[in-house]
Amino acid sequence: MAAQAIKSAYDGASPAISPRKVLLQAVDLCHGYEARGEKVVALDNVNLTIHEGDFVTVVGPSGCGKSTLARIFAGLTMPSSGQALYDGKLIQGASKERGMVFQELAILPWRTVAGNIAHGLEIAGTPKAERARRVAELVSLIGLEGFEDKYPRELSGGMRQRVAVARTWATKPPVILMDEPFAAVDAITRITLQEELIRLTHATNRTVVFITHSVEEAVFLGDYVVAMTARPGRVLEIVPIPPMGSERTWEDMIKDPRIEAISAHVFELVRGRKAPTARNEGH
Ligand SMILES: Nc1ncnc2c1ncn2[C@@H]1O[C@H](COP(=O)(O)OP(=O)(O)OP(=O)(O)O)[C@@H](O)[C@H]1O
Ligand SMILES: [Mg+2]
């Protein structure tokens, strides 16, 4: 039953057959760190192809190299070997084309909600009227109307996270890299944020790479899930998720037996208890 459900989920859903433009690529990517004489292989021969409009989730245990991968795609870390490409070109530094929401909350405490969201637009020299319009649009999308003039200290953790997401979204980078953006919020707020994120992504047509250590979150959000393993950090399998629509909710997901089977499969992969499905290796 479980194997059948996974098989039918693969049929017609493989990212490999997508005709869309390739936006991000990792080619034989390796990265090692050296700290106090000890070497750590954070990423070992990672290959990944991400198409325009994809919502990709990357899941794996702590220390498997998820943040390293996000930082390499952002251009903040140069890989030890291999290549990271954006639109066919080598990534050699940070760029406004690839926005990042960091694992540690990154909003400016001395700026209001509106001021935080407007920050990148100010740097980009966006005219004031256009800036105000875009900030209002995003405030509405993240459900923070009435909180525009509040400071981060006056907000809940979930609200702050929403501001961090909107801040990155504001400048419309084609690619948004999100490193465990909801890790620090409670389970109920997290579900709301995930549902909002799906709607925001569909409404703005972005390409998203979303890092998480939660299998449920990865399966709920992703068009496909990149399952990783630790020491050394490797991609075990790319698991396609059957389309559930932009209005999907957690209730929809929990009721869907295909999703249950896929979640169980991914869970076993990242726990190191199951060999990858052969047809998806080395995507
Ligand atoms: N600056 C650094 N110096 C030395 N080692 C590092 C550094 N950054 C990461 N590492 C090591 O590289 C490996 C991968 O780290 P990374 O932060 O990419 O993992 P992660 O999957 O994001 O983990 P988590 O889920 O805990 O955030 C870990 O073993 C970590 O100890
Ligand atoms: Mg991390």
Is the C-beta atom of 67 inside 6 A of ligand 1?
yes
**pLDDT at residue 282 greater than cutoff 50:** no
Cα–Cα distance for residue pair 68/80, rounded to 1 Å = 11
Which-ligand-closest: CA of 59? Answer: 1
Q: 278 pLDDT band (50/70/90 cuts)?
A: low
Cα–Cα distance for residue pair 102/168, rounded to 1 Å = 10
CA of 36 relative to ligand 1 center, distance in Å: 15
CB atoms within 10 A of CB 261: 19
**pLDDT at residue 283 greater than cutoff 50:** no
What are the E-state strand segments in 60-123?
81-86, 89-90, 98-101
pLDDT of the residue at 11: 41
Average pLDDT over residues 36-58: 93
Is the C-beta atom of 77 inside 6 A of ligand 1?
no
Average pLDDT over residues 150-161: 90
CA of 146 relative to ligand 2 center, distance in Å: 33
Q: Are 134 and 114 in contact (CB under 8 A)?
A: no
**196: Cβ contacts below 8 Å, ≥ 6 apart:** 141, 142, 143, 162
The number of angstroms, rounded, from the C-alpha of 213 to the middle of its chain's C-alpha atoms is 11
Domains in the chain (CATH in brackets) are 2-97+177-273 (3.40.50.300), 104-172 (no CATH)
Instruction: Compute the residue count for the chain.
Output: 283
Reduced to 3 states (helix: H, G, I; strand: E, B; else coil), residue 141 is helix
| Least-confidence region, from 56-70, 114-128, 191-205 | 191-205
CA of 260 relative to ligand 2 center, distance in Å: 26
**pLDDT at residue 29 greater than cutoff 60:** yes
User: Which of these, 48, 44, 2, lies nearest to 224 by C-alpha position?
Assistant: 48
Is the C-beta atom of 177 inside 6 A of ligand 1?
no
Is the C-beta atom of 213 inside 6 A of ligand 1?
yes
Between the CA of residue 104 and those of 56, 63, 111, 205, 235, what are the distances in Å? 20, 16, 18, 25, 24
| Token output for 28 | 């034989």
| Token output for 122 | 């100010």
Nearest CA to ligand 1 atom 1: 33
Please state whether the peptide bond connecting residue 79 to the residue before it is cis, i.e. omega within 30 degrees of 0: no
Nearest CA to ligand 1 atom 25: 62
**pLDDT at residue 157 greater than cutoff 90:** no
CA of 63 relative to ligand 1 center, distance in Å: 5
Which-ligand-closest: CA of 60? Answer: 1
Q: Best of 33, 58, 102, 211 to mutate for ligand 1, by most ligand atoms within 8 A of CB?
A: 33
Cα–Cα distance for residue pair 19/52, rounded to 1 Å = 10
CB atoms within 10 A of CB 141: 17
Between the CA of residue 57 and those of 113, 182, 216, 225, 280, what are the distances in Å? 27, 13, 11, 5, 16
Local structure of residue 272 (DSSP, 8 states): T
pLDDT of the residue at 188: 82
Q: Best of 67, 103, 211 to mutate for ligand 1, by most ligand atoms within 8 A of CB?
A: 67
Q: Mean pLDDT for the chain?
A: 87
User: Which of these, 98, 100, 200, lies nearest to 143 by C-alpha position?
Assistant: 200
**pLDDT at residue 97 greater than cutoff 70:** yes
pLDDT of the residue at 250: 86
Instruction: Give the DSSP H or E segment for 173.
Output: none
CA of 216 relative to ligand 1 center, distance in Å: 22
| Token output for 163 | 């501001």
Q: 222 pLDDT band (50/70/90 cuts)?
A: very high
Q: Best of 40, 62, 73 to mutate for ligand 1, by most ligand atoms within 8 A of CB?
A: 40
| Token output for 193 | 């944020």
**pLDDT at residue 172 greater than cutoff 50:** yes
